[in-house]
Amino acid sequence: MNSPVTREIADKLDDLLRELAAPLPPPIRTAVTGQEFRWEHVDQTPLVLLIAKTVRMVSGIRASLMLADAGFVTESASLLRMISDFQTEVVAIATGMLSGKPTVAQHKFVEQFFALLPRTPEEMREQEKKSYVSREDLLKSHVNLANEHGQDGEGLRDATRFLNRLYDSYVHGGYQSAMELYHGDDRWFMTSGHTGGERLAVARVNVAGKLLEILTAMELIALVERNEELFMEIRGFSVRLASSGEDSRQA
């Protein structure tokens, strides 16, 4: 399966991201030390978080597809696990914004997102004393959103936990993830790319499924911005991808 719809939509993600980011003023240069600088948004708002997380999702999904095409299936899966967290975060913060009553966890997550990285081991120790918002806290927003739309919120949470647990093996270099690369005939590992056609097809299916999740997150951001036209455009891509069956092994 060559996943033509997945590829077409992935190629359009950057344009959709530009439209989502349009309401934000451009970042400015902020001096660090000497000639060094970093790009910063003047106002550190929840919308900035949503766009920043989407930047990583768009970059990540395109890289994951490239890795799948090249046979680096375990690395592709590792990126998908990261994207899963980003998507969870975007949905949680976006739903809080849409409700107009963000939870304590949602508010705290935004605050912690903009905290600068520690510059010394001492600063790191101080930061580690703080409690951070957990994925479980953020998943509550997904459960509530699903329930509000007549879906099984608890079932969604269980499915998300299950899939994340499977993908964790790739991120942490689990035994089974290494053995996926073993070639019985050659009696060695496929470290230059998996050669099994079926495994490559599964990798592309996984990318398509995660792309569908990204589109859902982008739809919510469009709603936050009250951009009905952009929402309908993204929804059209979601429907098209779901109808293609490329996110299913039956395609």
**Per mean pLDDT, which range of 80-94, 110-124, 173-187 is the poorest?**
110-124
Distances (CA, A) of 152 to 141, 148, 155: 13, 9, 5
- Identify the pLDDT of residue 251: 38
Closest CA to 190 of 200, 180, 199, 176: 180
Tokens of 232: 């309908």
3-state SS record for 3-61: CHHHHHHHHHHHHHHHHHHCCCCCCEEEECCCCCEEEECCCCCHHHHHHHHHHHHHHHH
Residue type, position 27, single letter: P
Mean of the pLDDT values across residues 94-109?
94
- Identify the pLDDT of residue 250: 45
- Identify the pLDDT of residue 167: 95
- Identify the pLDDT of residue 249: 54
- Identify the pLDDT of residue 1: 64
The pair phi, psi for residue 39, each rounded to 5°, is -85, 130
State yes or no: pLDDT of 125 exceeds 90.
Answer: no
pLDDT tens digits for range 199-217: 999 999 999 999 999 999 9
Any residues with CB less than 8 A from the CB of 5 and at least 6 apart, and which?
208, 240, 241, 244, 246
The pair phi, psi for residue 76, each rounded to 5°, is -60, -45
pLDDT tens digits for range 46-85: 999 999 999 999 999 999 999 999 999 999 999 999 999 9
